[in-house]
Structure 1
Amino acid sequence: MTDQDRQNPLDPYLIISSDCHAGLPTERYRPYLDSRFHRQFDEFLGQAQARREESTRLGIRNDAFAEKWFHDNEEGLRGGWDAAQRVKELDGDGVAAEVVFPDADAVDSQTAAPFGVGLGLSGDQDPELGMAGAQAHNRWLADFVSEHPERHCGVALLPLTGEVDRVVAEVRRAKESGLGALMIPSMWVDKAPYHDRRYDPVWAAAAECAMPVVTHSGAAPRHEYGDHLGIYVSEVTWWPARPLWFLLWSGVFERHPGLKFGVAESGCWWLPNLLWFMDRLYLGAHGGKKLSPFAELKRPPHEYLDRQIFVCATNTKRRELAQRYEIGVDNILWGSDFPHPEGTWPDTRAWLKRTFHDIPVTETRRMLGLAAAEVFGFDTGKLAPLAQRIGPTPADLGQSADAAAQAAVEASWARSREVGRHWLTDHDFPVLGADA
């Protein structure tokens, strides 16, 4: 019997956001940072205004928007580092639990982790400073999530491209401190790419510690873009997705079947076509017949996706939900992006109603919380009373839980469900030719 079978269809949703953010105002990280790095930390703090001015010049920061954002949300934004305020904001949004990434302030970067190792974590950072900054944030985050451990899964920063022994030690230290997942750089830059066997001890440690490994949008080669903001926004979601195919085709998921890997805040609109393309190559489509067999893989890519890969699909879009039978319902983990302005907070309930109003209740429960609970190890039993108190009901989302109405909703999606991954089900929709 599944969680869905045991649940009354009228019950409120147990919502888990797979993508939220927290971080101290940057100067307050000092007590968590090894003292031998304090001089470099002071230099980093002294460059904050220059970084903000550069963001404004490049169009990444809008002065008028920033002024209004901070004025209108001053109290709630303290939830980026104040545990009591955070719980108040989560309750208001109907979110029972969350996965906590770094960098609460996505407008002025006033809560940047030391040395820029938060969402900008990258392989080109100084290895010593990178690990020092990551550990400072991880120490603070462990303290932060310990106040309500049943509601938070803290994501440890992991500068993966550094010395492997130190990286593995940080995986284990983060686990022991109470953190539950690992964020690795989206870009390795001039370091060994992720198909390199040097990283195998890290993948093994992550699997052993049951800590999902995730990438998150943010890092990108901005120096290549000049003043052309459109180039940045067109590519920024591509970089965190790129490690997926490096890990898959090099056999990392085959060698480490307990490893879970996810891509955060990059949408999931790109995944159906990518999966179609990769499956066809593996299964011997005409366009790939001249290639040698993919010896590192023992199964088609979609099986690794369903077994080990997930997408933290922040602020999930209607277009993406329409593709959920290709992506896999259990592979889509909704996120609010609290407290970033591009997310759904502080109007999450309204966002959910506009997005999920015609989605079957059983599928909605999976994407809004139950799938994330399984990936990140949340105890749904502990969260259930809270969800009963704060969670929106199906009716609140514009969904009727009446049996006849739900049957009609299920029927409206029956064709899409039947077609599913059309390259595997032999259905002729939406393909046009025999090689599709």
Structure 2
Amino acid sequence: MTSSDDPYLIISSDCHAGLPTEEYRPYLDARFHRDFDEFLAGRDRRREEMTRLGIRNEAFAAKWFQDNEEGLRGGWDSAQRLKELDGDGVAAEVVFPDADAVDSRTAAPFGVGLGLSGDHDPELGMAGARAHNRWLADFVSEHPERHCGVALLPVTAPADRVVAEVHRAKESGLGALMIPSMWVDKEPYHDRRYDPVWAAAAECGMPVLTHSGAAPRDEYGDHLGIYVSEVTWWPARPLWFLLWSGVFERHPGLRFGVAESGCWWLPNLLWFMDRLYLGAHGGKKLSPFAEMKRPPHEYLDRQVFVCATNTKRRELAQRYEIGVDNILWGSDFPHPEGTWPDTRAWLRRTFHDIPVTETRRMLGLAAAEAFGFDVARLTPLARRIGPTPSDLGQPADQAAVEASWARSREVGRHWLTDNDFPALGVTS
């Protein structure tokens, strides 16, 4: 039984871990060692290019590593990692690749971490992914109740190899799969060649995820603002490819998540897609969407979630349109754009006027369900390290807080009661 001021069980849906790149060698098949040496030799050139493009700020990088030297070892050192998670009040985490987002010192072999893309060499891409997955399985096995490891999955490789890697990753103890946000010159995700992969992911109970990072940087020139404006769009794009092509209908057990791309874009997208499907005036000239048997919001609530890293106040204000249970908070540890090492203060600034029951869902319980964490095993730890509602500035008397959001909650997905759809009634 949870009392009103019990500590929060916090699960970060977006954290990162990875070895210093050169230390991946023992996890890499020997026949790729020469290619790996060439990859390592190009690191300085890639860092210089990042600086030239404005993606890397040299002065910031120097200060970041100097100020956080000890904590950053938590990117690959398990004991240090638990110390940092405990300090932030985070009981468990979903672990993506690339602990270092400043200098790429922990990049997975051949750049298949957050930059995983359809244009990777199929052989090197799979080799690099498997090397990271092997290390990650060892890493999370030390405290499996606290970590859900995300296996890298070069899904554009031959389907039989991809399916085999899904099962291998599951058997090794990993719990989710990250696919490229961009398929580049390969088949888009509506193609039926991927159906065996979606089926394997559903069978294994492993959510399929995209994560921000990859983008067509060669198109942007020196204009960093273009990259920043688009980098969260690419991970979201597969969502509507899977939705409209009927992937969610054919594979009802498949769960899909978009990580570190915010969730500010989702309300308007959902509004637009629902209206299109439900026969808004502007879409009546189109043929019926035969691949789908229900409106988009129903697939969203059944199978989709957003790992809304460093969730913003504006996004929380839209939570009744997005769906409270579809928003999974993340700290982004140990990346500088995340909330670490000041997560407790950040949570207080962000959630102070959000109802406690909803906060519990977004900060941990929804993630526990999406990724299969054992709440019973985590609860004693959460009671020891988790911040309480009062620590977040949330009042003990929740009546006024609930009342302040009553109108927003009532309006919710307002388009589902729109006069454009008189046959709908009041349903969602």
Provide TM-score, normalisation by structure 1: 0.96
Question: How much does 1:426 deviate?
Answer: 4.2
* CA 366–427 in structure 1, closer or farther in 2 if over 3 Å, else same: farther
> Of 404, 411, 417, which residue of structure 2 is paired with 1:419?
411
Question: How much does 1:9 deviate?
Answer: 1.0
User: Is residue 156 of structure 2 the alignment partner of residue 161 of structure 1?
Assistant: yes
Please state whether the residue corresponding to 2:149 is helix, strand or coil: strand
Deviating above 3 A after TM superposition, structure 1's stretches of 4 or more consecutive aligned residues are 425-428
Structure 2 CA distance for aligned equivalents of residues 53 and 199 of structure 1:
37
Structure 2 CA distance for aligned equivalents of residues 325 and 341 of structure 1:
29
Q: Which residue of 2 aligns with 1:409?
A: 401
Q: Which residue of 2 aligns with 1:129?
A: 124
Structure 1 CA distance for aligned equivalents of residues 359 and 267 of structure 2:
19
Question: How much does 1:10 deviate?
Answer: 1.1
Please state whether the residue corresponding to 2:257 is helix, strand or coil: strand
> Of 208, 212, 218, which residue of structure 2 is paired with 1:217?
212
Structure 2 CA distance for aligned equivalents of residues 425 and 352 of structure 1:
34
User: Is residue 109 of structure 2 the alignment partner of residue 117 of structure 1?
Assistant: no
Please state whether the residue corresponding to 1:51 is helix, strand or coil: helix
* CA 374–427 in structure 1, closer or farther in 2 if over 3 Å, else same: farther
Please state whether the residue corresponding to 2:321 is helix, strand or coil: helix
Q: Which residue of 2 aligns with 1:3?
A: none
Q: Which residue of 1 aligns with 2:424?
A: none
Q: Which residue of 1 aligns with 2:276?
A: 281
Amino acid in structure 2 at the alignment position of 1:425:
T
User: Is residue 208 of structure 2 the alignment partner of residue 229 of structure 1?
Assistant: no
Structure 2 CA distance for aligned equivalents of residues 302 and 349 of structure 1:
33
List gaps (5 residues or longer) in structure 2.
421-428
Q: Which residue of 2 aligns with 1:199?
A: 194
> Of 379, 384, 390, which residue of structure 1 is paired with 2:374?
379
Q: Which residue of 2 aligns with 1:100?
A: 95
Q: Which residue of 2 aligns with 1:83?
A: 78
Amino acid in structure 2 at the alignment position of 1:77:
L
Aligned residues: 420
Question: How much does 1:7 deviate?
Answer: 1.3
Q: Report if aligned partners of 1:419, 1:427 keep a CA contact under 8 Å in 2.
A: no
Structure 2 CA distance for aligned equivalents of residues 152 and 302 of structure 1:
30
Question: How much does 1:427 deviate?
Answer: 9.3
Structure 2 CA distance for aligned equivalents of residues 125 and 10 of structure 1:
49
Structure 2 CA distance for aligned equivalents of residues 295 and 354 of structure 1:
46
Question: How much does 1:425 deviate?
Answer: 3.4
Question: How much does 1:264 deviate?
Answer: 0.1
Q: Which residue of 2 aligns with 1:340?
A: 335
* CA 65–343 in structure 1, closer or farther in 2 if over 3 Å, else same: same
> Of 248, 251, 271, which residue of structure 1 is paired with 2:243?
248
Amino acid in structure 1 at the alignment position of 2:413:
R
> Of 292, 295, 300, which residue of structure 2 is paired with 1:300?
295
Structure 2 CA distance for aligned equivalents of residues 105 and 10 of structure 1:
36
Q: Report if aligned partners of 1:15, 1:391 keep a CA contact under 8 Å in 2.
A: yes
Amino acid in structure 2 at the alignment position of 1:112:
A
Structure 1 CA distance for aligned equivalents of residues 350 and 400 of structure 2:
18
> Of 46, 50, 73, which residue of structure 2 is paired with 1:51?
46
Structure 2 CA distance for aligned equivalents of residues 229 and 320 of structure 1:
24
6-15 or 89-98, which deviates more: 6-15
User: Is residue 255 of structure 2 the alignment partner of residue 260 of structure 1?
Assistant: yes
Structure 2 CA distance for aligned equivalents of residues 427 and 249 of structure 1:
24
Structure 2 CA distance for aligned equivalents of residues 9 and 152 of structure 1:
27
Q: Which residue of 1 aligns with 2:8?
A: 13
Structure 1 CA distance for aligned equivalents of residues 257 and 380 of structure 2:
28
Q: Report if aligned partners of 1:330, 1:366 keep a CA contact under 8 Å in 2.
A: yes
List gaps (5 residues or longer) in structure 1.
1-5, 429-436
Q: Which residue of 2 aligns with 1:433?
A: none
Q: Report if aligned partners of 1:157, 1:184 keep a CA contact under 8 Å in 2.
A: yes
Q: Which residue of 2 aligns with 1:31?
A: 26
* CA 207–18 in structure 1, closer or farther in 2 if over 3 Å, else same: same
Please state whether the residue corresponding to 2:205 is helix, strand or coil: coil
Structure 1 CA distance for aligned equivalents of residues 417 and 327 of structure 2:
21
Structure 2 CA distance for aligned equivalents of residues 19 and 345 of structure 1:
12
RMSD: 0.9
* Percent of aligned pairs sharing the same letter: 89
Amino acid in structure 2 at the alignment position of 1:416:
S
Please state whether the residue corresponding to 1:61 is helix, strand or coil: coil
Structure 1 CA distance for aligned equivalents of residues 150 and 161 of structure 2:
18
User: Is residue 316 of structure 2 the alignment partner of residue 321 of structure 1?
Assistant: yes
Q: Which residue of 1 aligns with 2:134?
A: 139
Q: Report if aligned partners of 1:186, 1:240 keep a CA contact under 8 Å in 2.
A: yes
